[in-house]
Structure 1
Amino acid sequence: MPGQRRRRGAQPEAATGGRRNRRPKKKSTGKKIAIWTGGTVAFVVVVAAVGGYLYYQHLNDNITAVSDDGAGTGGFSKDRAINILLVGTDKRSGDGNKGYGDEGSVGHADTTLLLHVSKDRSNATALSIPRDLITDIPDCPTKQDDGSTKVIPGSQQVRFNESLGQSERTPSCVMRTVTEITGIELDHFMVADFNAVKTLSSAVDGVDVCLAKDIDDPDSHLKLAKGKHTIEGEEALAFVRTRHSVGNGGDLSRIELQQQFLSSLMRKLKSGGTLTSPKKMISLAEAGTKALTVDSKIADIMKLRDLGMELGKLDMKNLTFATTPVVDNPAEKKPVTVVLNKAKSDELFSMMREDVSLTEVKKKEKKEKAAVAARLKGPKADPADVRVDIYNGSGKTGAAQATLAWLQNNEGVTKSSQLGNAPKNLGKTTLEYGKGEADQARRLAELMGLPGSALKPGESEKNAQGLPAMVLTLGADFKGAGVPISAPSKAPDGIQKVGADKSVCAK
C-alpha cells in the first residue's frame, strides 16, 4: 500500500506542535483499495471453500450404495492385494433403454469381472465370468430396509447370472458366488447398468475400438464398418451388447468385445488428455457417481479417491484381461450353457490367489528372493528316506492325518507321523529342517508343491524314536492332501487372455 500523502500547504505535525483538535483525516484511496481487495479475496476464498464442499456433497448425494451384507473383507487395504467385483446388469431403466430386449428385467449379472490388483501394484488381472456358467449359488444373508436380515436360499446348478436380481438377490450374493467359484475373497463391488456405458464413454469423448469385419446387428442396433472407430453413448452400448455378429455368436465372443472396450476406456481414463482436462474430470465425476452402485464401505468420494489412488499406481501394460476357462455343458445335447474347465480354472484361480502375474513383470532382483529360490535346487532324497513330523496349523479338521495317510500310502514317505494341532494356526505352511536335511526338504517340497518360501532352514526335532525329523506345519493355504500349495508360475495354455495395453480387432 502506498504511503499517505499530506494535503497541499499543510505543515508537518512537528512544526505545529502537534495540535490535538485537527479535523479527522479521511482514509486514503490506497487504504480503501487495500481493504476492498483484501475483503474480496477473503470472500472468494470462502465461496470457493463452500462451493467445493457443496460440490463434494453433491457428488456424495449422487452415489447409490448397497450393503455387502458381510460378504466382503471389510474394505481394501494399502498393504495387501485388492479384489474388486465389477458387475454390469441388463437392467433397462433410464432414457432410451426400454427397446433393448427384456424391458422388465430386474437386472441380472449380465457382465461380471473380478479385478485383482497385486499387493505391490505391479500387475493386475481382470477375470471375466461368463453369465451362462452353470454353478451353485450359496445362501445369501441380506439386510432388509427395516434392519432385519433375511436369508435368501441358494440354488444348485443354475446360470451364474441368476446370482443377482433373481429371488431378490443383491450384489452381495454375487460376491458370495464369485468367492465360492474362485476361492478369492472380495473387498468391494461396483454395479453399473446400461446408462453407465453411455455416460462414461461420452464423458471421455469416446472410446477407441476396432473391428476386423463389418457388423450390422439388428438385435443390439450396432452398425459399424470394418476398421477403427471412436464410439460413445448409444453406439458404445450397442458395441458391448452385440454378440451374434462376432466370433461364434455366443456370450464368450461378446466377452472379448467387452474386454476390448474396457481396456480402451481405461487407457483413455489414464491418458494425459483426460487427466489434465477439468471439463472431462468433472464430467467423469458426475457420470461415475450417478452411474455406479457401490458397496456402503466406499460410498464416499474421499474413499473412492483413495481406492482410485491405489489402482492408479498400476501400469496398464501389466493389466491382463482373462476369461474363466470353461467347456460346453456336457448335460445338454445342444449346449447353450458352459461349465468350468476344472484343470485350467483351478490353476488360474490359484495364480490369482497367490498374486502371480499373468504378464511378464520386470522386478528388481533381490538377494533374498534368489536365496529362497535356491532352496529348491539341488539333490533330492528318496521318499523312503524322508523323515517328517506333521502338525495341523491350518484350522481344517483332520488335515494332518489326511496328509500323513497320503504321504505314506501314495508317495512312499513311510518315516512320517502326525502330532496333532500346532500351538497356533499359521497363514502359510512351513517346513523346518536341520543341517544335513536339505535333500529331504527338497523332496517333500516337490511332493507337496511347496514354494521355496515355505522351507525354513534351522533346527529339526527328535521324533518318537529319538531320531532327527523335519517339522511340517500345515497353514491356512493348505488345500487338501495331494493338492499343490504353491501356485503355477505361468498361466495354463489355451485360456482366453489379452493385455490391456494392446488394441485387438474383434473378429
Structure 2
Amino acid sequence: MHWTAGTLGFVLVAGCAGGYFIYQHFNGNIDSYDADLGDDRPSAGAEGAMNILLIGTDTREGQDGKYGDTGSPGHADTTFLFHVAKDRTNATALSIPRDLMVEIPECKTEDKKRIIPGSPRAMFNTSLGQNERGPDCTWKTVEKLTGIRIDHFMMVDFNAVKTMSNAVGGVEVCLEKNINDPDSHLNLSRGRHVVKGEQALAFVRTRHSVGQGGDLTRIPLQQQFLSSMIRKIKGNGTLTSPTKLWNLADAATNSLTVDSGIASIRKLSGLAKDLGKVDTKHITFATVPVADDPLDKNRLVLKERDAKQVFAMVRADQSLTDVKGKNKKKPTPKETSKAAPADVRVRVVNGSGVMGAAQETVNWLQNEQGVIRSSNGLNAPADVAKTTLEYARNRGDQARALAEMMGLPPTALKMTNKDAAPLEEMVLTLGKDFEGAGIPLTAPTTAPSDLQRVNADQQVCAK
C-alpha cells in the first residue's frame, strides 16, 4: 500500500520511444499538495536519513455508500512514520493508533484560507479532515508528538488497497481462526489466503472479530498485509516485468497524494531506488507504545517512557533490527571501576525548564536504581541546553555508575581537578535535552522489551 508507492519510479525507461508518454501519464496521475508547516519544527536528524509520513485516509468519496459514514471528509485512519536509515541498511515503520489522544497544533485549513485553533487533547485521527484540516496538520501533529522531523508525506485512500492488491495478483495473509466480520465484510477461514480487491480492503479494515476488537488489534493486520505486499513485489518479478510494473505504478499513482517536494515521477523514482536498497529482513513494523487512557477506556495515551525511547532511536538513526555493525554501545567515562548504586552520592539540579524534573529523577534513582544517596538540588540559576555531571577526580567510579544509569554521553561528564570530601555529592544538572527519568540522553540501542513489532520478512498470523 504506502511503501510500494515509491516503486512506481521504476517504470521510467530512459531513452525508450514511449518514455515521454509514460512520464506524462504517471505525472498526470499524482495529486500534489503544498504543505504549510511553519517554523516551529524539530531539528533535522541524521544527515541522509529519510522520514516519510504515510497516511491512509478513510474518506468515503467515490465509494457509493459501501462503507458507511457517507460524506465523511476522511480522517487519518491508518498512519505510519516510515524511517529509512542514512546508510539504507534498515527501515522502521511506526504505526500511530488513530485512537491515541494527542495535542494537535494550530493549523491552516486545507485551502489555506482560515486558521484552525490547536487542541491540547484530541483523537489523533481528527488531525486530518476534522474542521477542514489538511495532511500538513497531521504532519505537524506527528512532529509534535515524536520530536522527529518529517521530510515528506504520501496519502492514499481506500481505493489504493483494492487496486494495488489487484495489480500484484493478490497478497497472502494468514489467520489463526475463522473470521466472519459483518462490519468489514471479511469472511475467511483459518489458515492462509491470497486476498485482493474488496477482500483485501476488508482484511485491513477488520477489527471487531480479532483480538480485543479495537484499533490496536487492527494495526498488526495492516502490518502483516504491508509486509506481505513488500515480499510479493520484491519476490515475484514485479520490478522486472513491464506489464506488472505498469499495473502497479498506475494503481499507486491514481490513489496517491504527495507533498510538492516529491510530486514528480523523477523524484519518486529516486525515492524508490533508495527504498529498494533496504533488505526486507531489516524493515521493521512497530506500534508506538501506548496505554489505556485513564480518562476514557475507549481511547489511548502514550506510554511515555517507552515511547520516548523508541522516538529517540528513530531520531538517532538506530535500527530496531540486528544489523551487523550497528547499534554498538559507546563506552561512557574512561574509568574502569564502577561504584555500587548505594555508594553513589549525587545532587540533582533542574536546569531543564520542566517543573518537577529534579524530584522525578531523584525518585527514579532511589526507587528503581538503588541510588539512595541522591538528593534534590532544586532549580539551577538558569535553564541550560545540555545535561552535565560534575564530579571530583576521585569520584570516577561513581560517575561511571551514574552515567550508565542515565545514559549520559562522554561529553556530559565534567571532572574537576580536585578530590572530594567523603560525603561530598556529585552534581547532576538536567538540561533541555532531558526527556524524563530513565530516558537515556544518548540514543538507546535497544527498543523496549514489550514493543509490538514484526519484520517484513516474517509471516505472522492474525489471532
Please, what TM-score do these two structures have when normalized by structure 2? 0.79
Alignment of 1:431-450 (within 5 A): 438-439=396-397, 441-443=399-401, 445-446=403-404, 448-450=406-408
Partner residue in 1 for 2:32: 65
Structure 2: state its 5+ residue gaps: 1-13, 367-372, 420-425
Answer whether contact 1:140 1:173 (CA < 8 A) is retained: yes
Answer whether contact 1:67 1:296 (CA < 8 A) is retained: yes
Partner residue in 2 for 1:359: 321
Answer whether contact 1:429 1:454 (CA < 8 A) is retained: no
Deviation at 1:77, TM superposition (A): 9.6
Equivalent residue for 1:301, pick from 248, 251, 265 = 265
Q: Does 1:288 align with 2:256?
A: no
Equivalent residue for 1:82, pick from 30, 47, 50 = 50
Deviation at 1:87, TM superposition (A): 1.0
Bigger Cα displacement from structure 2, 130-139 vs 356-365 = 356-365
Deviation at 1:195, TM superposition (A): 0.5
* C-alpha RMSD of the superposition: 4.0
Partner residue in 1 for 2:105: 138
Partner residue in 2 for 1:493: 449
Partner residue in 1 for 2:88: 121
SS of aligned partner of 2:99: coil
Answer whether contact 1:125 1:320 (CA < 8 A) is retained: yes
- Equivalent position amino acid for 1:168 in 2: E
SS of aligned partner of 2:187: strand
C-alpha separation in 2, matches of 1:443 and 1:105: 56
Answer whether contact 2:57 2:75 (CA < 8 A) is retained: yes
Deviation at 1:207, TM superposition (A): 0.8
Deviations 1:356-398 (A, max 9, x none): 3222222279xxx6874684753359655x899x999xxx769
C-alpha separation in 2, matches of 1:498 and 1:71: 35
- Equivalent position amino acid for 1:496 in 2: Q
Equivalent residue for 1:379, pick from 338, 351, 354 = 338
Partner residue in 2 for 1:92: 60
SS of aligned partner of 1:363: coil
Deviation at 1:435, TM superposition (A): 8.4
Equivalent residue for 1:206, pick from 157, 161, 170 = 170
Answer whether contact 1:76 1:82 (CA < 8 A) is retained: no
Answer whether contact 1:203 1:284 (CA < 8 A) is retained: yes
C-alpha separation in 1, matches of 2:310 and 2:43: 24
Deviations 1:302-321 (A, max 9, x none): 11112222222211112221
Larger Rg: 1
Bigger Cα displacement from structure 2, 473-482 vs 169-178 = 473-482
Deviations 1:138-184 (A, max 9, x none): 1114573xxx6632112232211111000000111111111222222
Aligned-residue sequence identity (percent) comes to: 53
- Equivalent position amino acid for 2:315 in 1: R
C-alpha separation in 1, matches of 2:25 and 2:243: 17
Q: Which has the higher contact order (CA 8 A, sep 6+)?
A: 2
- Equivalenced residue count is 434
- Equivalent position amino acid for 1:319 in 2: I
Deviations 1:194-224 (A, max 9, x none): 0010111111111111111222222212222
Deviation at 1:275, TM superposition (A): 1.4
Answer whether contact 2:310 2:448 (CA < 8 A) is retained: yes
Partner residue in 2 for 1:180: 144
C-alpha separation in 2, matches of 1:305 and 1:130: 30
Deviation at 1:429, TM superposition (A): 6.5
SS of aligned partner of 1:270: helix
Answer whether contact 1:88 1:111 (CA < 8 A) is retained: yes
Structure 1: state its 5+ residue gaps: 1-46, 464-469
SS of aligned partner of 1:317: helix
Deviation at 1:355, TM superposition (A): 2.7
CA gap of 1:213–1:444, structure 2 versus 1, over 3 A, is closer
C-alpha separation in 1, matches of 2:89 and 2:306: 24
Equivalent residue for 1:342, pick from 287, 298, 304 = 304
C-alpha separation in 1, matches of 2:34 and 2:165: 27
Answer whether contact 2:107 2:117 (CA < 8 A) is retained: yes
Please, what TM-score do these two structures have when normalized by structure 1? 0.73
Answer whether contact 1:460 1:471 (CA < 8 A) is retained: no
CA gap of 1:480–1:188, structure 2 versus 1, over 3 A, is same
CA gap of 1:119–1:474, structure 2 versus 1, over 3 A, is farther
Partner residue in 2 for 1:35: none
Deviations 1:207-248 (A, max 9, x none): 111111222222212222221111111111111111122112
- Equivalent position amino acid for 1:155 in 2: S
SS of aligned partner of 2:237: helix
- Equivalent position amino acid for 2:400 in 1: R
CA gap of 1:123–1:434, structure 2 versus 1, over 3 A, is farther
C-alpha separation in 2, matches of 1:418 and 1:158: 34
